[in-house]
Structure 1
Amino acid sequence: MEMIGQGILEALRLLTTGDPEVLGVAFLTLKVSGTATLISLLIGIPLGIILALKEFPGRKFILSLVNAGMGLPPVVVGLWVSIFLWRSGPFGYLNIMYTPIAIIIAQAVIASPLVIGLTSAALQQTDPKLRLQIKALGTTRLQYLWLLLKEVRFAIMAAIIAGFGAVVSEVGASMAVGGNIKGQTRVLTTATVLEVSKGNFDIAIALSIILCLLSYFVTLFLTHLQQKNQGA
């Protein structure tokens, strides 16, 4: 209990004094995870729409891969992204290994199956009669898709929250492709692991509290957007 108390006090000290290193790590965490979540939306929502509304050979197999990818271990993602980004890998010429861009790519890979799967499931659950009613209005294809997405907007926001939660809390992929370099690729999760390995449990607890607060306030904001027009 004493260790927990020290960790809480250390978190308060770091937050109230505005420790530059901690603020930098927190900002990078938010920047990397936020960007990865956005990329996963740009990938996941269109693919989720296609898998939900289109019939084509191999569709069920692809859906099974997506569902399996929703539980893909981050460390596995980190390993394979590393293989592709190493100097000897297919994309080694880009020289982005051990940079925030590499972490963003890995985290986008983690979040995308969640967004694809949840978007597809939400659209498949829409009432077929509703789809026919929308088409009967003479809507264009884009209008049809927009109205369907509006109908499942709560589920889409849940997918966004799930995607962000998955990447902001992961450590394996960030460590594998980012290297936990101070001032460059160190995020809150990897910083916490580092402090634990050094035996600085009070600082590790403080960083974990800051990470939880960051995750909570982002989720609170997203939940506010989700519930803002409830019943509209």
Structure 2
Amino acid sequence: MPDGLGAWQLIVSGDATLFAIVRLSLAVSLSAVAIAALVGLPLGAVLALTRFPGRTALIVLLNGFMGLPPVVVGLAVYLLLSRSGPLGVYGILFTPLAMIVAQALLVLPIIAALARQTIEDLWREYRDELTAMDVGPAGRVATLLWDSRFSLLTALLAGFGRAAAEVGTVMIVGGNIDGFTRTMTTAIALETSKGNLPLAMGLGFILIGLILAINAAAWGVRVWSEQRAGG
């Protein structure tokens, strides 16, 4: 299979174009997950620990946004950042920053929803103890976030997997500019259409390897945390 052999040669030889695309993809996805985590983890904890009018509707909305079509997110961010949009004055459309914003919005509901479920389950276990210790709302959020950190890491890995595999959102807001906003997924789509199969397959192999590594890491963290809790 000549194309497959060529793909492996690009990887083994450390092809500059291929690894520049990989570095940008990782930088964008990791940054997006970090931003989404800063908002999503506290949001999920607050939803798990507080009761207020409209809470159920908000949870349903959050869960529904987990399956939000990526191109819709991309379109919304494009409209916000375009020259005629409310944030167009900053001129960040078709830049890596725009891609980070779009991916952060895409994975935020995933992280927040999984965090809410995790914290809510843990709250049932520790409710009496924390109430007896007269721990305030902020203390409860901090305590339960810390105690469930290994389970929440799985949520972050799930968010990263979604971000790393995304193509529609980053294509819309990033423009797939060579050497500037071209990620693994958008490059695969473009190079395949151009007939440059070795580069497309090389990126595909790396992307598959990353997704498998993420899932293995999530499984390993879950097993390790369960063994640690049981021990």
- TM-score computed with the length of structure 1 as normaliser: 0.89
Q: Structure 1 residues 82, 127: CA separation in 2 closer, same or farther (over 3 Å shift)?
A: closer
Q: Does 1:86 align with 2:68?
A: no
Larger mean Cα displacement after TM superposition, 150-159 or 12-21: 150-159
Residues 1:180 and 2:169 aligned together: no
Alpha-carbon separation, structure 2, partners of 1:196 and 1:15: 17
Distance 2:117 2:207 in 1: 30
Q: Number of residues paired by the alignment?
A: 228
The DSSP-based 3-state class of the residue aligned with 2:180 is coil
2:48–2:117 CA contact under 8 A, matched in 1: yes
Return closer, same or farther for 1:157/1:17 CA change in 2, 3 Å cut-off. Answer: same
Contact 1:153 1:226 in 2 (8 A): no
1:67–1:141 distance in 2 versus 1, CA, 3 Å: closer
The whole-number CA distance in structure 2 between the counterparts of 1:130 and 1:12 is 51
Contiguous gaps of at least 5 residues in structure 2: none
3-state SS, counterpart of residue 18 of structure 1: coil
Matched, 1:76 2:72: yes
| Mapping for residues 104-183 of structure 1, pairs under 5 Å | 104-126=100-122, 128-139=124-135, 141-183=137-179
Deviates more, 1:164-173 or 1:15-24: 15-24
Query: Is 1:193 equivalent to 2:204 in the alignment?
Result: no
Alpha-carbon distance between aligned partners in 1 of 2:123 and 2:178, rounded to the nearest angstrom: 51
CA contact (8 A) 1:7 1:204 kept: no
Q: The residue matched to 2:122 in structure 1 has which SS? A: coil
**More off after superposition, 49-58 vs 108-117:** 49-58
Post-superposition offset of 1:220:
4.8
Match of 1:37 in 2: 33
Superposed CA offset, 1:128-170 (max 9, x none)? 3521112323545544333322443343112101100111001
CA distance in 2, matches of 1:94, 1:61: 34
- AA matched with 2:228: G
Matched, 1:20 2:16: yes
Between the aligned partners of 2:84 and 2:114, the Cα distance in structure 1 is 36
Aligned residues: percent identity?
Answer: 40
Report if the CA contact (8 A) 1:37-1:160 is conserved: yes
Alignment check: 8 A CA contact 1:154 1:226 kept: yes
- Aligned-partner SS, 2:84: coil
| Cα separation, 2, equivalents of 1:226 and 1:94 | 41
Deviation at 1:117, TM superposition (A): 0.5
Change (3 A) 1:7 1:146: farther
Matched, 1:231 2:228: yes
**Cα distance between partner residues in 1 of 2:193 and 2:27:** 25
